[in-house]
Amino acid sequence: MLLFVNACLRDGSRTERLAEMWLGRRAYEGQVRTVHLAELDVDPLEAAGPNTISAYGEAVAAGDYDHPMFDYAKAFAQADEVLIAAPFWNYGLPALLNCYLELVCTQGLTFDVDETGAYVSLCKARRLTFVSTAGGAAPDLSDDHAFGKVRTLATHFWHIPQIEHVAAWGLDGLGADVEALLADAL
Ligand SMILES: Cc1cc2nc3c(=O)[nH]c(=O)nc-3n(C[C@H](O)[C@H](O)[C@H](O)COP(=O)(O)O)c2cc1C
């Protein structure tokens, strides 16, 4: 199963289009399961609210993951491949995707810690692709907190060996040829 985490929030999103172009080219033969964050109520971990940090902590300590907040992590762990699509916002990720990733990063579901303190992956995925578009030019790698964050999680928690960034930059520049920039990104 290829899990498509769609964090594109705008009508007519260019990032969504780039992700669909990428999916068409990928021609994945298994099932594609889409999680469209715009249509979901992904609540952050909070002191009070649907997903409290205390309930989260107690569940992780007990290894009891029945609460619906853990459903995203369970599905993520089962994916053979992951595609994440998100626009570049304020040098980082949209908050909704951060909320989703916060829940996906649950110890005991997508990663664990061994007796030496090292992270052990509980994910099946061997490949993760991050698709993004940005209005401006590509920043230095150390200033890219979008792909930078995804790459760090995929490397250190989930041990995904193949991590790719498909990015179109400069889409909001005066006279930008958006179609050409999207095609080039592929
Ligand atoms: C809230 C917000 C924050 C943005 N921050 C940045 C930014 O930090 N750097 C940049 O190059 N473009 C930024 N942009 C422009 C978007 O990255 C760009 O328009 C992108 O192509 C939008 O993708 P979409 O068409 O899929 O919505 C921002 C746009 C919005 C709405």
- pLDDT tens-digit readout, 160-181: 999 999 999 999 999 999 999 9
pTM of the model: 0.97
Which of 11, 140, 172 should be mutated for ligand 1, with most atoms under 8 A from CB? 172
> Quick one: how far is CA 85 from the chain centroid?
7
* pLDDT score of 139 more than 90: yes
Q: What is the mean pLDDT of the chain?
A: 97
d(CA 186, CA 183): 6
Q: Residue 6 pairs with which residues in a beta bridge?
A: 36, 85
DSSP string for residues in the chain: -EEEEE---STT-HHHHHHHHHHHHHT--S-EEEEEGGGS--PPPBSSSSSBHHHHHHHHHHT---SGGGHHHHHHHH-SEEEEE---BTTB--HHHHHHHHHH--BTTTEEE-TTS-EEE----SEEEEEEE-SSPPPPGGG-TTHHHHHHIIIIIS--SEEEEEEE--TTSTT--HHHHHHHH-
The domain spans of the chain are: 2-185
Cβ(36)–Cβ(6) under 8 Å? Answer: yes
Which of 6, 88, 169, 182 for a ligand 1 pocket mutation test, highest count of atoms within 8 Å of Cβ? Answer: 88
What does the pLDDT look like over 15-69, one tens digit per residue?
A: 999 999 999 999 999 999 999 999 998 999 999 999 999 999 999 999 999 999 9
User: Which atom in ligand 1 lies closest to the alpha carbon of residue 15?
Assistant: 26
Residue 10 Cα: closest atom of ligand 1: 27
Which residue owns the Cα nearest ligand 1 atom 22? 87
Check if the beta carbon of residue 63 is closer than 8 Å to that of residue 108.
yes
- Note the pLDDT of residue 41: 83
Q: What is the pLDDT, as a whole number, of residue 51?
A: 95
Give me the mean pLDDT over the 114-140 stretch. Answer: 98
114 CA → ligand 1 middle, Å: 39
CATH architecture label of 2-185: 3-Layer(aba) Sandwich (3.40)
Residues in the chain: 186
Within 6 A (CB) of ligand 1 lie: 8, 10, 13-16, 87-91, 133-136, 171-172
**Closest Cα to atom 31 of ligand 1:** 89
Question: Average of pLDDT values for 74-80?
Answer: 98
Average pLDDT over every residue of 64-84: 98
In the chain, the percentage of residues whose pLDDT exceeds 90 is 99
pLDDT beyond 90 at 83 = yes
